[in-house]
With several copies, the nearest count.
Chain A
Amino acid sequence: MDLSFTSEQDMLRDSAARFLANECPFEKVKELEESAEGYSADLWQQVADLGWLGMAFPEAYGGFGGSFMDLVVIQEEIGKALFPSPFFSTVVECGSIILEGGSEKQKVELLGAIAEGSLIVSLAQYEEEGSYLESGIAMKAAPLDDGYTLSGTKYFARDANIAHKLIVAAVVEGKGPTLFLVDAQASRVTATKMPTIAMDNTCVVELADLRVSKEDIIGPLGGAWPILEKTQARAAIAQAAEMLGGCKVCIAMTTGYAKEREQYGRVIGGNQVIQHYLVNMLLAHDTANSYLYQVASMVDDGEDFSAAASALKAATNENYKFVSERAVQIHGGIGTSREHDIALFYRRAKSYESRCGSTDLHYEKVMEGLLQEA
């Protein structure tokens, strides 16, 4: 047992933190939030050059063969800086899907392009109802001589507005949900941003008789669900890492503010109630963060991590909301303003809780895991 990071991971963390602090301060975050693109192509290329995008892909596919824990380190730093980018959609979600389900050819072509920074991919899974389940995938893939046509609307597709490719989940009659790789910039694809509390690139995507060739199917026909289930569990862990990074900064910023802001002739951090709020925030972070590393290790060790990923995400959903909410409260009026940075975390926390499955769904998965054990 060794609960320390490797020195490589320490370096990775330091360099990521430094890069984001310099290149993407909170001013820049707000500017990007308010832009139509919602990300900076320039910064995206820079993080590609830093090796983040291919970090966790095998070397054979243009990556650096890093561990899942490495990805977790990057995600924590992204979460601390609130870096607006398609990292989660492209690397964490779609990268994993391609790695899990893609053909050799797809892996070589797509993962390499992702790692280079030249390919942004968006997952178009959800439909109008917002179901997280397999049964929520209802869009039909109509068979054609050498492929399929896709028609309909997908919802909550992240970064579809800036993506080069989409991975669309659609049902092949008699087979079931299947993953299709499509050109996001085709004329028959329209992505429209939905206004979310996170001010991010969450999109509605309309597909109008879009043709897909058989070669652009990822994984087996009807094989979408096992791939999505496994990669979404991984993504949930990575998302939790991002959220816990956010918690950490909320605590640091708020502790700092509480040590400086004076009312009634002394700093507000001298008030016992403020102290206990901060302690409860710390507890929320430190417990979940300790567990994060344990769960991330399960991924790297090849253990079954699905119930643990759900446990982590459910706890983190609650904890990030709690921590960011108290952070705003302790900041008082200034914390509620757009000018200040702390509410950025508060708004993200609410949005992120719905990613990779709802809290209730994760609780249920935890329970199912427990009952299987028992």
Chain B
Amino acid sequence: MDFKLTEEQEALKKEYIEFFEVEMKDAPPEFRINPSEALYSSDECWEFHRSMQKKLAAKGWLTMAWPEEYGGRGAPLIDQLLFSEVHATYRAPGIDGFGIKMFAPTLMQFANEEQKKRILPPIARGEVSYCQGWSEPDAGSDLAALKTRAEYRGGHYVVNGQKIWTTGAHRADHMFLLARTDPDQKRSGGLSVFNIENMKAPGIEVRPIKYMNGSHFYNEVYFTDLIVPEEDRIGEENAGWKSTRATMNFERSGIGGFISVRERLKELIEYTRTTKRDGGFLIENPLIRQKLAKLHIDVELGRALAYKVAWEQEKGNLAVSATLASQSKVFGSELTQRMANFSTEFMGLHGQLEASPWAPLNGIMIDAYQRCMGGNIAAGTSEIQRNIIAWAGLGLPRFN
């Protein structure tokens, strides 16, 4: 075992740090609160994200772990992890996870040559932005129950139906869509994957869903007789479930989440060192000290686990890494929740304050207290993740 970085890795890491140190100086302040969602919240943030995306592409960092033939440089996942750590440390935007981490690997594995040549390069160049057309009102945890219909009409499909919880649909250029192409096949049979070329096309209506705190990143997407050319179906007709399951398992080390908690924890500690209450600094309170220590430990544990995820994936132990990735997801989202709950608690009366001149850390923690619920639910609820770990990881039987 060797946890040390190579000289090349140390040099790369330094380069990342120098880059973000400069580039994030002028970032809109919303990114300090929640970078992965801030990008969708205002035109200014979105512009900043898009310009960062192009810069990262130019540096070759956007797709470093992609095979060279698709515009990557075949870097080991551990290098990718290092990049993700630094990226998360600076709470930087610029990564379109839907395109780069989910759809692109699916394309590499399941698309035909024409599609790869057409769809992958703009993703690699950071020119486009994707959203994910999966969940439906009656198909959340149980994705295979989805009903959105794509009917083949010779040369093209006609799509009708509704998606929900579509993060960033109001900003995205494209969507990868999972729809039912054979209505006679139930559940996971009869589904196909499509590349939706233009989210502004007639036949698509995007309606905002406000999150509990009023912010807008989720959407409903309605399809009414949307025409999708046959050449935008990815993979075999009715074989979409297989590639979708593969999509679920790409790059899910979760390192970004742990780094995010680590950085917030640093700010929290600074807050407790500089905030006085009842004659002492908060950091002098043993109850607060111990809880901060516990959070720090969990960050370290989670980070070690994330490294293991990447390592197992790198070694080709995909079943192992998929289970570990579910563990990382659960551990990370629940850790974020513990941090948000605890910190807003010890802030006392101030803990309830949203971003404002009076709010500690400009309300990052009360924001997290609300956003963390999304984290526990989106991309597979904590319950679904635990089911998966039990079935796939521990080999426990699945009953219905």
Q: Touching in the complex, A and B, CB below 8 A? A: yes
- Contact: A332 with B297, CB < 8 Å? no
24 sampled A-B residue pairs with Cβ under 8 A: A1-B5, A1-B78, A2-B1, A129-B276, A130-B347, A133-B278, A155-B349, A202-B352, A265-B400, A270-B399, A275-B387, A287-B327, A293-B1, A297-B1, A308-B300, A325-B337, A328-B373, A332-B381, A343-B370, A350-B341, A354-B348, A366-B293, A366-B296, A374-B269
- Contact: A374 with B273, CB < 8 Å? yes
- A residues touching B (Cβ–Cβ < 8 Å)? 1-6, 69, 126, 129-133, 135-136, 155-156, 194-198, 202, 204, 255, 258-259, 262-276, 278-280, 282-283, 286-288, 290-291, 293-294, 296-298, 301, 308, 311, 314-315, 321, 325, 328-329, 332-333, 335-339, 343, 346-347, 350-351, 353-354, 358-360, 363-364, 366-367, 370-371, 374
Please, how many angstroms separate the alpha-carbon atoms of A297 and B304 in the complex?
Answer: 12
Please, how many angstroms separate the alpha-carbon atoms of A195 and B78 in the complex?
Answer: 42
Question: CB-CB < 8 A to B354: which residues of A?
Answer: 195-197
- Contact: A350 with B366, CB < 8 Å? yes
- Contact: B394 with A278, CB < 8 Å? yes
Please, how many angstroms separate the alpha-carbon atoms of A194 and B350 in the complex?
Answer: 10
Question: CB-CB < 8 A to A129: which residues of B?
Answer: 276-278
Given that A264-B142, A338-B212 are contacting pairs, would A351 and B352 also be in contact in the complex, using a CB cutoff of 8 Å?
A: yes
Chain A binding surface, main DSSP class: helix
Question: CB-CB < 8 A to A1: which residues of B?
Answer: 2-6, 9, 78
- Contact: B301 with A288, CB < 8 Å? yes
- Contact: B377 with A291, CB < 8 Å? no
- Contact: B135 with A3, CB < 8 Å? no
- Contact: A354 with B2, CB < 8 Å? no
- Contact: B377 with A336, CB < 8 Å? yes
- Contact: A371 with B283, CB < 8 Å? yes
- Contact: B300 with A275, CB < 8 Å? no
Question: CB-CB < 8 A to B369: which residues of A?
Answer: 197, 350
Question: CB-CB < 8 A to B154: which residues of A?
Answer: none
Task: Please give me the 6 A-B residue pairs with the lowest Cβ-Cβ distance, nearest first.
Answer: A275-B390, A290-B304, A343-B212, A338-B210, A263-B142, A287-B301
Besides the known contacts A195-B356, A336-B377, 13 further A-B residue pairs in the complex with CB atoms under 8 A apart:
A2-B1, A129-B277, A197-B353, A278-B396, A279-B327, A282-B389, A298-B3, A301-B4, A328-B212, A329-B376, A360-B290, A367-B292, A371-B269
Question: CB-CB < 8 A to A278: which residues of B?
Answer: 390, 394, 396
> What residue of chain B has the Cβ atom nearest to residue A317's Cβ?
B345
Please, how many angstroms separate the alpha-carbon atoms of A158 and B346 in the complex?
Answer: 20
Question: CB-CB < 8 A to A353: which residues of B?
Answer: 345
A197's partner among B9, B270, B346, B370 (CB-CB below 8 A) is B370
- Contact: B373 with A346, CB < 8 Å? yes
A291's partner among B277, B304, B349, B396 (CB-CB below 8 A) is B304
- Contact: B381 with A329, CB < 8 Å? yes
B6 to chain A, nearest CB (A): 7
> What residue of chain A has the Cβ atom nearest to residue B2's Cβ?
A2
> What residue of chain A has the Cβ atom nearest to residue B378's Cβ?
A333
Instruction: Tell me if B247 counts as interface (CB < 8 A to partner A).
Output: no
B348 to chain A, nearest CB (A): 5
Given that A287-B302, A311-B300, A370-B293 are contacting pairs, would A5 and B1 also be in contact in the complex, using a CB cutoff of 8 Å?
A: yes
Encode contact with A along B275-304: 1 for CB under 8 Å, 0 otherwise: 011110001001101101110111011101
- Contact: B331 with A197, CB < 8 Å? no
- Contact: B331 with A196, CB < 8 Å? no
> What residue of chain A has the Cβ atom nearest to residue B142's Cβ?
A263
Given that A4-B1, A350-B352, A366-B293 are contacting pairs, would A136 and B304 also be in contact in the complex, using a CB cutoff of 8 Å?
A: no
- Contact: B290 with A336, CB < 8 Å? no
Question: CB-CB < 8 A to B363: which residues of A?
Answer: 195
Please, how many angstroms separate the alpha-carbon atoms of A343 and B141 in the complex?
Answer: 20
Instruction: Tell me if B165 counts as interface (CB < 8 A to partner A).
Output: yes
- Contact: A332 with B349, CB < 8 Å? no
- Contact: B393 with A366, CB < 8 Å? no
Please, how many angstroms separate the alpha-carbon atoms of A258 and B394 in the complex?
Answer: 11
Please, how many angstroms separate the alpha-carbon atoms of A253 and B112 in the complex?
Answer: 47
Please, how many angstroms separate the alpha-carbon atoms of A204 and B389 in the complex?
Answer: 46
- Contact: B307 with A255, CB < 8 Å? no
